[in-house]
Amino acid sequence: MVQQTTPPPDRIQAPGEPETVIRVRDLKVAFGDKVIMDGLDLDVLRGEILGFVGGSGQGKSVLTRTILGLVRKRRGTIEVFGEDVDDLNLQQRRVLERRFGVMFQQGALFSALTVKQNIQVPMREYLHLSPDLLDELAMVKLDLVGLPRDAADKAPSELSGGMIKRAALARALALDPEIVFLDEPTSGLDPIGAAEFDDLIMTLKQTLGLTVFMVTHDLDSLYHACDRIAALADKKVIAVGTLATMLASDHPWLKAYFGGERAMARLPAGEQGQSS
């Protein structure tokens, strides 16, 4: 007989409520005796763009790498698609990895490979396809991110900053992931290029149903592209919610971040009255 177990109250999903695709609880990460996170909780919901903010060196990239299994945690649980990652064997882990796409800071393309070959790196690792099919798939990914097809045979050094970001995104999308992790995707882009990149992410979210975990310092991205924002300070996620939630927070770091002159100047008109 199959034993029925009742999920704990915080796991029961009300009808119509978005699924939690990443669920982090009581996470502790440290390097030696330097504690980076302690008691961190975070939910990422299916189909959302979650903007992740925090001061420099607070651990945003480390959290991403911990969720990806690249940094070992000291304590806590990380569940992805409802599975505790600690319970997965090597094969299950590889299956899970295929559902992730990752775009590291500065694109991190292999400089000795062409754009097409870069996009094909994850495909070669996980799929067994003919060279022709690999080429066709790479072209589909180029189209998807709005790169011209003649970019395929170029070296990363021949691309503009904006094109490098798009190529890196194409590689992150190589395996048709369900969740993409973007580490400061618009850094180094001019405001027009950054806005175009945000539009691309929003379009991909709509058309592919992607869930996006985006570490960013870009206020415009936070205001215009993100469905929710999570803020990291004091080794924890101190607030999570819409921009209005951030603006209403009394936490000193959030007040300084979102209430500062630069942030206020960029605030969408509808939110202007939210912060004092």
Ligand X SMILES: Nc1ncnc2c1ncn2[C@@H]1O[C@H](COP(=O)(O)OP(=O)(O)OP(=O)(O)O)[C@@H](O)[C@H]1O
Chain residues that interact with ligand X, rule: CB under 6 A:
31, 36, 54, 56-62
Task: Return the number of the residue (31 or 110) whose C-beta is nearest ligand X.
Answer: 31
Q: DSSP secondary-structure letter at 186?
A: T
CB of 57 to ligand X, least distance (A): 4
Task: Return the number of the residue (54 or 156) whose C-beta is nearest ligand X.
Answer: 54
User: Sheet holding 236-241: strands in order across?
Assistant: 100-103, 179-183, 211-215, 49-54, 228-233, 236-241
The closest of 44, 21, 25 to 99, measured between CA atoms, is: 21
CB of 140 to ligand X, least distance (A): 32
CB of 180 to ligand X, least distance (A): 17
3-class secondary structure, 215: strand
Task: Return the number of the residue (62 or 180) whose C-beta is nearest ligand X.
Answer: 62
CB 38 within 8 A of CB 235: yes
CB of 146 to ligand X, least distance (A): 26
Task: Return the number of the residue (32 or 270) whose C-beta is nearest ligand X.
Answer: 32
Task: Return the number of the residue (59 or 101) whose C-beta is nearest ligand X.
Answer: 59
CA-CA distance, 234 to 58, in Å (whole number)? 8
CA-CA distance, 106 to 188, in Å (whole number)? 8
CA-CA distance, 79 to 82, in Å (whole number)? 6
CB of 33 to ligand X, least distance (A): 11
User: Tokens for 264?
Assistant: 């206020």
